[in-house]
Structure 1
Amino acid sequence: MSILITLLAFAVAIGILVTVHEFGHYWVAKRCGVKVLTFSIGFGKPLLRWQRGEVQWQLAAIPLGGYVRMLDEREAPVPAAELNRAFNRQSVGKRMAIVVAGPLANFLLAILVYWAIFLNGVEVLIPRLGSIEPNSIAAKAGFLTGDTIVAIDRESVNSWAEARLGLIERAAAKASIQVEVVRPNGGTVSRTLDFADIDNEWIDGDLAGRLGMSIAVYRNELGPLLTDGAAAVAGLKQGDRLWKVEDKPTPDWNSFAAAVRARPNLPTHISVLRAGQPVEVRVVPKSVQDGDKAVGRIGAAPALDMDAIHALNKPVQYGVISALGQALHQTWATSALSLKMMWRMLLGNVSVKQLSGPVAIAGYAGKSAQYGLRAYLEFLCLISISLGVMNLLPVPVLDGGHLMYYFAEILRGRPLSERAMELGQRVGVGLLAALMVVAVFNDLTRLVGG
């Protein structure tokens, strides 16, 4: 059933995003007096098509995109009576407007959906740290359990999502940052995080966890276990109360996890309490690479204190104008972060392993759909923004590549030669093909590794 949900959620998302993008091109083309011949959702052989006025509407076999085909002398002869409606005969300003309308439609969709979300009211998670991993970067920097993050480099932080994004952005810049936190006793202190030597592969959505900080509050017992993991095979069970590892007391999850991580491939005696009675098992933690060192894993997760986590929820209600402001800010901030991450990936500050392809996107679509409508709508906004940003990149075959040609035409006073544009198209196709290969490889690596 989860596979069906994933496929359906992915298909609906792609269908909506492609339709909105192509409708942007279509709507502006019609307003500019250009004749539209075909509006296609998908590539390849049409599976369903119908004629409405001058336009042939169709659904095609390959659902990973779409196109709007306009009257154009470069593609086929145009009757003299319709030359004024050909795309290539339009002013450079009109052509630029038609091209940029697709990405702008994606940004507009994100703004409208975010607006609806904020109008409905949202709940944010207070950025209060419920767990600090011993000997982690966060622990060495002086963060403590119960600290509430209130600012990063003097920019106020109001939610855990803002804190995570702030850390990711600054880590990608390899910056040293100041994080202000309010202590449980009410005092405010500043802590320094230095990202100069951080592993590029750490810069992803789990960066905070890699630094050793989380808002999660753990009970001192085992949570879900992998059925084929070392813990389950040895006889440990979910709900077992943590007690000792190699006769050393481990009264909480952090001390238990640290003791297990320190013993990769080493026979380890673990003692737990089950129904108040001591139970001892012998486990051999599997050795896995974590950065430049091997650590032990037994296939066990901590038990979350859901009451404590729910207590972090803070309801926020917006009015019509303030909700629109939040929607614009969210769309702008996400767009800016996407561009910064792409640029830093080119500079080598962020690993190309962060690129995701259709398999990963489909997985995110399925997970968000199972979490509920709001999560799915937020996923839709994120992908819509990403689609808009990507299409504005100055890469031939993308909308941004065409804009680049038109800017060159403005500077030169005449269009680029057919030869130059053909060469650009080949380079653009090569670049996109290479990116797709890397993204799909990353998807498959995650599947195999997961």
Structure 2
Amino acid sequence: MKLIQTILAFLVALGTLVTIHEFGHYLAARLCGVKVLRFSVGMGKVIFSRRLGKDQTEWAISMLPLGGYVKMLDIREQSETPIPKEDLPREFCRQSVWKRIIIVAAGPFANFLLAIMLYAALFIHGIPEPIAKIRVPSTNSIAYEAGLRHGDQILSINGLAVQSWSEAQWELIQRALAKGTAELIVERRASEAPNGKVDRVVDLPLQQLSGKDLEGDFLSKLGFSLSRPPAVLGEILPGGPAQLAGLQQGDRVLAINDVSVLDGLAFTEMVSASPGIPLKLHILRSRAEFDIVATPVPEVFGGSKVGRLKVQMMLAPEMTVVKTGVVASVVKAAQKTWDTSLMSFKMLGKMLVGEVSLKNVTGPLTIADYAGQTSRTGVISYLSFMALISISLGVMNLLPIPVLDGGHLLYYSLEVLTGKPVSERFGEIAQRAGLALLMAMMAVAFFNDIVRLMS
């Protein structure tokens, strides 16, 4: 069932995004007076079609669901059938270079517009997200040396207010790409303060990160992560080591073998690393502190032997709902789409110069996997995924590679500068080179996908 859901989620997402992209081309062509012969959802053989409108445009569904296209009246594709004289003014190549630019750019623009609409709808509805409270497990880290402490809540980064963990991550990775220092204002518990909290300013030196550090969980390279709840025991499973040792639901574990337990995640890690080894747990129960010895039972998990006390532990972070008004949501969505697009171009640039590994290039298998995961998580996650992939599709199509929209925009830009279109011979050579480059990128993406799935 998971496989079927993953395939359906992938096809719905990709089909929707490609259709929106091609519909952008279609609308722009109609507005610029170009005759559209066919609008196809899918590629390959047409399995259903219907002609509509004054121009009798063929609206078609084709066999392969991965893709789509808009076929316009184009003299380059009408070599066998002459174009009727009355239709010549509506032929694509006879349009001004600016109209051709508008038609070609309308596809990626439609993807960016869709992302803005999806993000705006999500911000208006409200998105449940973890608060920007941090976990600093080690005193020997960049984060600790900069002044961050466990339990600090990030309020702003370089003057920009932060409501959630994802917003904090986003601002930090942008500052890291710029090789700068991030000024964090954090809220910290302080018993001496009137309200028990005090604000601190921390300068986090992100320039210490290399390009390869930005791959994966870059915040762990700085020495902090998302905060987790204290190590308070949940349900005690019957007959397990925890029950046999006398542990009770609601007990808080302060230390294991005289080593302080930072939170529930640290407790889980320490227990997992001690299969069959007696552990001295220092417990807080109803204001009383005492020690209990419990021995984790060994279990095989993921090919390795781990320890289990047979007790549930709450690891879910503290949540908030990020919600804004209509106008503010549209502005925020537009800014997020712009920032995401810019970051994508920056990452591509760093790949070209070797600062970031090509392992970050993903293909359809990884996208399908994420589509399935987000669809199982819920509508909000799935729509957020669609918005992100829509931006990626727009960015990909703007790359100056022949056969992509960006390649055509490059041709037309040269035409604007020189006053004449590029030669057919140059166009043919560039098309072949662009196709070869695109196939190479797809091969890298498929290879990375397979490696990820196997690992």
Match of 1:189 among 200, 203, 208: 200
> 1:414 is paired with a residue of what secondary structure?
coil
Structure 1: how far apart are the matches of 2:132 and 2:255?
Answer: 31
Check conservation: 1:242, 1:272, Cα contact below 8 A. no
Structure 1 residues 80, 255: CA separation in 2 closer, same or farther (over 3 Å shift)? closer
Q: Which residue of 2 aligns with 1:220?
A: 231
Structure 2: how far apart are the matches of 1:147 and 1:45?
Answer: 59
The one-letter code matched in structure 2 to 1:150 is L
Structure 2: how far apart are the matches of 1:297 and 1:271?
Answer: 17
Q: Which moves more between the two structures, 70-79 or 398-407?
A: 70-79
Alignment of 1:74-223 (within 5 A): 74-77=76-79, 78-81=82-85, 82-129=87-134, 131-134=135-138, 135-185=140-190, 186-204=197-215, 206-220=217-231
The one-letter code matched in structure 2 to 1:165 is W
The one-letter code matched in structure 2 to 1:79 is I
Structure 1 residues 259, 427: CA separation in 2 closer, same or farther (over 3 Å shift)? same
Structure 1 residues 396, 260: CA separation in 2 closer, same or farther (over 3 Å shift)? farther
* CA displacement at 1:221 relative to structure 2: 7.3
> 1:95 is paired with a residue of what secondary structure?
helix
Q: Which residue of 1 aligns with 2:398?
A: 392
Aligned pair 1:403/2:418, yes or no? no
> 2:44 is paired with a residue of what secondary structure?
strand
Aligned pair 1:280/2:300, yes or no? no
Aligned pair 1:63/2:73, yes or no? no
Percent of aligned positions with the same letter in both sequences?
42
Structure 1 residues 21, 445: CA separation in 2 closer, same or farther (over 3 Å shift)? same
Spell out, residue by residue over 1:356-381, the C-alpha distance to the aligned partner (whole angstroms, 9 max, x if none): 11111111111221222122111111
Q: Which residue of 2 aligns with 1:420?
A: 426
Structure 1 residues 107, 199: CA separation in 2 closer, same or farther (over 3 Å shift)? same
Q: Which has the larger radius of gyration?
A: 2
Structure 2: how far apart are the matches of 1:447 and 1:136?
Answer: 32
Structure 1 residues 180, 204: CA separation in 2 closer, same or farther (over 3 Å shift)? farther
* CA displacement at 1:10 relative to structure 2: 0.9
The one-letter code matched in structure 1 to 2:137 is E
The one-letter code matched in structure 1 to 2:6 is T
Structure 1 residues 377, 16: CA separation in 2 closer, same or farther (over 3 Å shift)? same
* CA displacement at 1:147 relative to structure 2: 0.6
Structure 1 residues 269, 196: CA separation in 2 closer, same or farther (over 3 Å shift)? farther
> 2:367 is paired with a residue of what secondary structure?
helix
Check conservation: 1:218, 1:303, Cα contact below 8 A. no
Structure 1 residues 436, 100: CA separation in 2 closer, same or farther (over 3 Å shift)? same
> 2:77 is paired with a residue of what secondary structure?
coil
Structure 1 residues 434, 315: CA separation in 2 closer, same or farther (over 3 Å shift)? closer
Structure 1 residues 270, 121: CA separation in 2 closer, same or farther (over 3 Å shift)? same
Q: Which residue of 1 aligns with 2:34?
A: 34
Check conservation: 2:73, 2:90, Cα contact below 8 A. yes
Structure 1 residues 304, 433: CA separation in 2 closer, same or farther (over 3 Å shift)? farther
Alignment of 1:310-349 (within 5 A): 310=319, 313-314=320-321, 316-318=323-325, 320-349=326-355
Q: Which moves more between the two structures, 348-357 or 120-129?
A: 120-129
> 1:100 is paired with a residue of what secondary structure?
helix
> 2:111 is paired with a residue of what secondary structure?
helix
Structure 1: how far apart are the matches of 2:418 and 2:305?
Answer: 62
- Quote the RMSD (CA, aligned, Å): 3.7
Structure 1 residues 411, 110: CA separation in 2 closer, same or farther (over 3 Å shift)? same
Q: Which moves more between the two structures, 148-157 or 99-108?
A: 148-157
Q: Which residue of 2 aligns with 1:24?
A: 24
The one-letter code matched in structure 1 to 2:323 is V
Structure 1 residues 216, 99: CA separation in 2 closer, same or farther (over 3 Å shift)? same
> 1:217 is paired with a residue of what secondary structure?
coil
Structure 2: how far apart are the matches of 1:297 and 1:151?
Answer: 42
Structure 2: how far apart are the matches of 1:190 and 1:252?
Answer: 23
* CA displacement at 1:202 relative to structure 2: 3.6
Aligned pair 1:356/2:362, yes or no? yes
> 2:75 is paired with a residue of what secondary structure?
coil
* CA displacement at 1:124 relative to structure 2: 4.7
Q: Which residue of 1 aligns with 2:286?
A: none
Structure 1: how far apart are the matches of 2:406 and 2:164?
Answer: 34
Structure 1: how far apart are the matches of 2:164 and 2:48?
Answer: 46
> 1:79 is paired with a residue of what secondary structure?
coil
* CA displacement at 1:137 relative to structure 2: 3.5
Count of equivalent residues: 420
* CA displacement at 1:11 relative to structure 2: 0.8
The one-letter code matched in structure 2 to 1:119 is I
Spell out, residue by residue over 1:3-35, the C-alpha distance to the aligned partner (whole angstroms, 9 max, x if none): 222111111111111111101111111222212
Structure 1 residues 46, 248: CA separation in 2 closer, same or farther (over 3 Å shift)? farther
The one-letter code matched in structure 2 to 1:132 is V
Structure 1 residues 258, 315: CA separation in 2 closer, same or farther (over 3 Å shift)? closer
Structure 1 residues 37, 367: CA separation in 2 closer, same or farther (over 3 Å shift)? same
> 1:74 is paired with a residue of what secondary structure?
helix
Spell out, residue by residue over 1:273-316, the C-alpha distance to the aligned partner (whole angstroms, 9 max, x if none): 79x9744359799999xxxxxxx99599994344x623xx1453
Structure 1: how far apart are the matches of 2:70 and 2:377?
Answer: 34
